[in-house]
Chain A
């Protein structure tokens, strides 16, 4: 069974540029998560989807971040414009359902904003 797939693995951009990350969850997993992880810290949830519905986006900086999960499968996370403080690893995870289920993480996208 394929795991969670993310691309790109690395991205270097200059500040004020846009950037997008893509995630394909494990087949059959209804719940999809986007996390941000800064060096030496635990994952910080940005947004959680149940199928195509964003059910928890309270931590998403909505002035510059947006996300979508069309058709309830793969998802994209966008930052426009990027700021220096956005440099981090962006992790996508999926689980069968929302009820505290085990989350399976993708390899992440390491974003560097110069």
Chain B
């Protein structure tokens, strides 16, 4: 069935280092959404990408949607402690528009 894979599962970085998470879909997506979940919190919408090859920036966060609309990435420049959490990608299923979620990438800042 249709799947969304996300890697890595965890990423440990020193504060100030960059962070990247990758999302790959088994099928073309009409859009892809990114959510952030802080420890103990609930998923919060970050952004939606719709167009092939789209790149969007939010301060230190850069989101990309692949040309084939099957993959996406989130890159954080110069991580800060406020970036800690799990980042999820999600895309609509072809058949019923239900969001299919990646397993998430947990960003951990090394002490």
Min CB gap A22→B, angstroms: 16
Q: Could you say which of B30, B45, B101, B104 contacts A102, with CB atoms under 8 Å apart?
A: B45
Assembled-state Cα–Cα distance A42/B92 (Å):
15
Question: Which residues of chain A have C-beta atoms less than 8 A from B28's C-beta?
Answer: none
Question: Which residues of chain A have C-beta atoms less than 8 A from B30's C-beta?
Answer: 100
Question: Which residues of chain B have C-beta atoms less than 8 A from A100's C-beta?
Answer: 30-31, 33, 91-92, 97, 99
Assembled-state Cα–Cα distance A100/B96 (Å):
9
Min CB gap A36→B, angstroms: 12
Question: Which residues of chain A have C-beta atoms less than 8 A from B96's C-beta?
Answer: 55-56, 98
Q: Is A76 located at the chain interface by the 8 A CB criterion?
A: no
Assembled-state Cα–Cα distance A98/B30 (Å):
13
Nearest-CB residue, chain B, relative to A43:
B101
Contacts A42-B104, A45-B98, A56-B98; is A99 near B92 (CB within 8 Å)? yes
Docked-complex contact B42 and A103, CB < 8 angstroms: no
Question: Which residues of chain B have C-beta atoms less than 8 A from A55's C-beta?
Answer: 96
Assembled-state Cα–Cα distance A54/B44 (Å):
24
Chain B: number of interface residues, binned into ranges:
20 to 34
Q: Is B65 located at the chain interface by the 8 A CB criterion?
A: no
Docked-complex contact B43 and A43, CB < 8 angstroms: yes
Docked-complex contact B45 and A104, CB < 8 angstroms: yes
Query: In A67-114, which residues have CB < 8 Å from any B CB?
Result: 91, 93, 98-100, 102-108
Assembled-state Cα–Cα distance A99/B92 (Å):
8
Docked-complex contact A99 and B42, CB < 8 angstroms: no
Question: Which residues of chain A have C-beta atoms less than 8 A from B99's C-beta?
Answer: 45, 100, 103
Assembled-state Cα–Cα distance A45/B97 (Å):
12
Binding site for B on A (CB under 8 A): 40-43, 45, 48, 55-56, 91, 93, 98-100, 102-108
A-B pairs with beta carbons under 8 Å apart, 17 shown: A40-B106, A42-B101, A42-B102, A42-B103, A43-B88, A45-B99, A48-B98, A91-B42, A93-B43, A100-B30, A100-B97, A102-B48, A103-B33, A103-B43, A103-B99, A104-B45, A105-B42
